[in-house]
Structure 1
């Protein structure tokens, strides 16, 4: 309530509306637990992670989604320069094409993380500030649109709709792609498609560029140097290969920087690829090379299915 008193004039929100809304928000202990790192994290396993997303149910759902919305996907690709397959891959990984959009009341989830973020988290102060900002964005969005802030549901971390946009991403990147005068990432696949494509355009998606290339390593490869920048593309083709990372074919003519991407396979040897700026762009959606590769491989699998049966 003290926060609402301070926030209403700052956010130019009706004080009575804000107080009434926040008075009905509930603290959710389960959300506090869900944001904590696992006490005994499992070894990263790309094969296990991949199997969750590159599987028949999701590929078939993606094929149906693509065929149903083909004209919209093609229009988004033309307007924003982002391949239809990548947009389809994102929505498939995020929510299985709208089947799993989350069932937490966002006012409860964001309220909990804004005011009761667990101190045990290693970045508690930073994360609590982030979620308080997201709560403010959520309240601004619902106030402006006239939506009931008590009825909107999403993930435990506050993500919404088919593409699981956080409130700040909705405010910055969501677009009315079906032209009905409002943005609806829950009920309008067209708005979701256009918004995902617009998001990647904003994060410098480079039209026509590959996301990654095969790479070969050997005992002489300077792994310490290549892994130091993590997933940020830093090395020219010349400096990449000079450090002992082998590239072939089109990769040798790649015009931009590269990163060595490591995908661990549990007890087995890791897999590696050379990631481009477009691979990095996908990680702007979710800071994980495993996530990015799952999006890319689902995109490819659905594209093959669509092309094989016109």
Structure 2
């Protein structure tokens, strides 16, 4: 899950979304010899000194034997190319929704998504029923992140996190960035300690703790931002949201599709996913001018759906649950998707983002990313509308609702659609 404002998926705004990885935009080819383009020197000695201090802090705070942690980090090295990969785009860069969508909502990923669904159909249906998160959305996220495990990164996670914790390139928020990655190094140590069989606090005991499992964990591959596995979770996110979906006693986001599926669903559920509700509403081009007045780029649900209906941005049906819409009192925002037309003209497409759109934004702080997930899911058969219309023949009036208990709306069963 990810990190960006302006809304471009990577490490330009590190907030809650640092919890999740950074592979949904492929990294450019950069050799390890490339310098980050600034005067900072990358000192292996300085890294070792700073890392030693951080390891000592974790050892003291959690009472983990210092020598045990040191054994797993003794060969940690800086990766110069990582520093270039996390830099924001140049000042001449223009966001282009058309190019972004073409990269991620495309035949190879969609066909791979259908195969992934076929292989995990029963479990996806179970997780959808348990969490309320549609199977299509889960499949879309994993497909966009890593093409179902094909692109999970090839950097050792301890090297990535240590490099960015102590040698982040010169940016306006360098200090903030480094602190966030220091926290991720700490999370990695604690994650690997517990996965190796350790308890917290450790009470200076290594009884039952496997050094081999600890070393395997800190040496596993990650993206260039330190994200791990099929769904690209950061270490702190694994600790907070990852789930043992296959019930084998271990959480393995690299090799276990069930763990990945359950973890994505758990994250979205905990971020406030509304079961049975749509993700976004399309806006007619005739309403783009009005929508542009309310588009501020801030990922906040500032307006009611009724406000957009009153201004002609949405139709009355989109504020009607029985018609597949949402409650007119539901909160929403205007999502701007800038692109460059075929003739080179700068243009913007607008949609209305709903609560579930913003929930996806928590996975990757990018409007482009969230809209791609929604449209990928639609290509897999997701019906972007309220399921109340499909499950209830009629809803009571507001007056009746006030005098009766609200019915629980069953969530729809996952069904596949051709990705061709």
TM-score range (shorter-chain normalised) is: over 0.9
Deviations 1:92-148 (A, max 9, x none): 000000100110000100011111112x21211111111111111111111111232
The range that moved more, 244-253 or 101-110, is 244-253
Question: Is the 1:231–1:275 Cα contact (8 Å) retained in structure 2?
Answer: no
* 2:217 is aligned with 1:143: no
Q: Write the mapping of 1:202-213 to structure 2, written as runs, cut at 5 A.
A: 202-213=270-281
- Partner residue in 1 for 2:176: 126
Q: Partner of 1:251 in structure 2?
A: 318
Normalized per residue, the structure richer in helix is 1
Match of 2:139 in 1: 88
State the TM-score, normalizing by the size of structure 1: 0.93
1:215 and 1:116, CA in 2 relative to 1: closer, same or farther beyond 3 A?
A: same
Between the aligned partners of 1:209 and 1:45, the Cα distance in structure 2 is 28
Runs of 4 or more, structure 1, over 6 Å off, are none
2:162, 2:185 within 8 Å by CA — same for their partners in 1? yes
1:222–1:249 distance in 2 versus 1, CA, 3 Å: closer
1:274 alignment partner, SS class: strand
Backbone CA RMSD of aligned residues: 1.9
**How far did residue 251 of structure 1 move?**
1.5
Q: CA deviation at 1:296?
A: 1.2
Alignment correspondent of 1:261: 335
**8 A Cα contact 2:149 2:230, kept in partner:** yes
Indicate whether 1:111 and 2:162 are aligned: yes
What are structure 1's unaligned runs of at least 5 residues?
none
Residues paired across the two proteins, number: 306
Aligned to 1:221: 290
Structure 1 residues 56, 79: CA separation in 2 closer, same or farther (over 3 Å shift)?
Answer: same
The alpha carbon displacement at 1:308 in A equals 4.3
- Larger C-alpha radius of gyration, 1 or 2? 2
Residue deviations 1:36-73 (CA, integer Å, cap 9, x gap)? 11233421111100000111111110000001100010
Where does residue 348 of structure 2 map in the other structure? 270
Question: Relative to structure 1, is the Cα distance of residues 162 and 265 closer, same or farther in structure 2, using a 3 angstrom cutoff?
Answer: same
Residue number among 52, 64, 82 corresponding to 1:31 in the alignment: 82
In structure 2, what is the Cα distance between the partners aligned to 1:170 and 1:219?
Answer: 40
Q: CA deviation at 1:11?
A: 3.2
Residues in 2 aligned to 1:130 and 1:46: alpha-carbon distance in whole angstroms? 29
Q: 1:15/1:262 Cα in 2 relative to 1: closer, same or farther (>3 Å)? A: same
For residues 51 and 220 of structure 1, the distance between their equivalents in structure 2, rounded to whole angstroms, comes to: 25
* Pairwise CA distance, 1:238: 2.5
Contact 1:60-1:302 at 8 Å conserved across structures: no
Corresponding residue of 2:17 = none
Give me the TM-score of the superposition, normalised by structure 2: 0.69
Tell me if the contact between 2:288 and 2:350 (Cα under 8 Å) persists in the aligned partners: no
Alpha-carbon distance in 2 for matches of 1:10, 1:288: 35
Q: Check whether the contact 2:292–2:350 (CA below 8 A) recurs between aligned residues.
A: no
- SS at the partner of 2:349? strand
Q: 1:89 and 1:229 mapped to 2: Cα distance?
A: 24
Q: Which residue is 2:364 aligned to? A: 286
Give SS of 1:92's match.
Answer: helix
